[in-house]
Amino acid sequence: MDLILTTFGTYLHRQGEMFLIKIKDQKQEVSSRKVRSILITTGASLSTDAIQLAVEKNIDIVFLDQFGHPYGRVWHGRPGSTTAIRREQLRLADTEAGLRLALSWLTRKVDNQIEFLREARQRRTRLSAQLTDKITALTAQRTSLEGITGDLEERRETIMGFEGRAGRTYWEAVNLLLPEDFQFSARSRNPAKDEFNCLLNYSYGVLYSTVERACILAGLDPYVGFVHTDHYQKKSLVFDLIECYRIWADESVVGLFAARKVKQDMFDPLQNGLILNKQGKAVLMERFGEYLDETIRYRNRNIKRRDTVQLDCHRLANEWIGRLSDEDDSDTGVDHL
C-alpha cells in the first residue's frame, strides 16, 4: 500500500516495526510490512526513526507539490544499478535501436488510447460515430509514427510533431466522454484551468513517482532519455517511460466522472486555475489506488497493475546487458518494455 499523508500538521514516527501517524489527538498504526511508499502531499513532520525504518524496509518517502509532482524523495542508498546498464543506456540513446525503442513506447501509448476509446464506444453508443472518427484518425497517426526511420537526434522533432497531433485527437475524444459541465477546451498544466485537468495532472504526478522508483531499482538512469532530451535536473527517461502508463490515470479520472464522484467542492481556486484540495485528493487517490492495486494477467503471471512498471524496467535493463532469460524472451506482452 501507499501511505498518503494529506493532512497539514501530520506527525509520522516509529514504534517498533510500525509507523505511528499522529494528527492532533488521533493516532493510527500501520505495519511497515504493508507499506510500499510514503507520499507526503502537505506540511508534515517526520522523525529520524521513521526515516530509518523506511530505509530499512526499502520504502521510499516521496514529497509531492501542490500539483502532485514529486520534488524530492528519501530512500535507501542501495539501488540495483550497474555501470554496464547505464553505459548501454547512453550508447543506445543515439542509435537506430534507440529510435525503435522510443517509437515502441509511443506506439504503445497510442495503442492504449485506441483501446480505451473502443471500449468507451461500446458503452456510449450515442457517441459511436464521433468516437469512430477519432479512433480512425488515431490509427492513421499511429501508422505514421511507426513508419519513422533514421537517427533519433534527426527525427526527434518529427516524432514530437506526430505525438502532438495524436494527443489533440485523443483529448478531443476524451472530452466527449465527460459530463457537459466538466468538459475542457484543451490540456492545461500547473495550474490546471478546469476540474478534469486538475485531477489528471495530479494522477500523472503519482505515476511519475512510480516510474522513477522502478527506474532506479532496475538500475536505469532516470535522467538519460530518448525522445525527451537531456536537460539539467530533468528526468528525461521517466518522461519517456510514463507514456506507456498514462492510460491508467486517464481511465481512473474518466471513471470518476462517469460515476459522478467529482464535485465542485473538491477543488480550490488559484489565481490562474484550480488546485485539488484534501477532499479531492482523497477521492482521487482512493479510486486510483484501487485501480493500481488490481491484479491483472501480464507476461504469463498474475501481478498488481502497478508492479508491471517494475517488471518492465527490470526486463529492459536485463535486455540491454544481455541477461534476458528464456522465460522473459518468450513471454507475451509488449515488445521492448
Q: Are 219 and 318 in contact (CB under 8 A)?
A: no
d(CA 67, CA 41): 9
Select the more confidently predicted residue: 260 or 1. Answer: 260
d(CA 98, CA 102): 6
Alpha helices in the chain (DSSP H): 48-56, 83-92, 96-123, 128-146, 152-176, 195-218, 236-241, 246-258, 278-292, 307-320, 326-330
Report the pLDDT averaged over residues 137-147. 92
Select the more confidently predicted residue: 218 or 79. Answer: 218
Q: What are residue 38's DSSP bridge partners? A: 3, 61
Strand-strand pairing, 26-31 and 70-74: unpaired
Q: What is the pLDDT of residue 78?
A: 61
- Fill in the DSSP letter of residue 192: B
Q: What is the pLDDT of residue 193?
A: 95
Q: What is the pLDDT of residue 230?
A: 59
Question: In one letter, which amino acid is 9?
Answer: G
Q: What is the pLDDT of residue 97?
A: 87
Q: What is the pLDDT of residue 334?
A: 34
pTM of the model: 0.85
Q: Which span out of 160-169, 225-234, 253-262 was modeled with the highest average pLDDT? A: 253-262
pLDDT digits (tens, 9 = 90+) for 291-331: 999 999 999 999 999 999 999 999 999 998 887 654 454 44
pLDDT digits (tens, 9 = 90+) for 170-215: 999 999 999 999 999 899 998 999 999 999 999 999 999 999 989 9
Confidence label for 77 from pLDDT (cuts 50, 70 and 90): low
Question: In one letter, which amino acid is 167?
Answer: G
Question: In one letter, which amino acid is 284?
Answer: L
- Fill in the DSSP letter of residue 77: S
Q: Which of 301, 304, 303 is nearest to 327 (CA)?
A: 301
Mean pLDDT across the chain, nearest whole number? 88
Residue with cell 513532520: 45
In the predicted model, is pLDDT for residue 272 greater than 80?
A: yes
Task: Report angle CA 108, 114, 119 to the nearest 5 degrees.
Answer: 125
Confidence label for 128 from pLDDT (cuts 50, 70 and 90): very high
Q: Which span out of 14-18, 128-132, 150-154 was modeled with the highest average pLDDT? A: 128-132
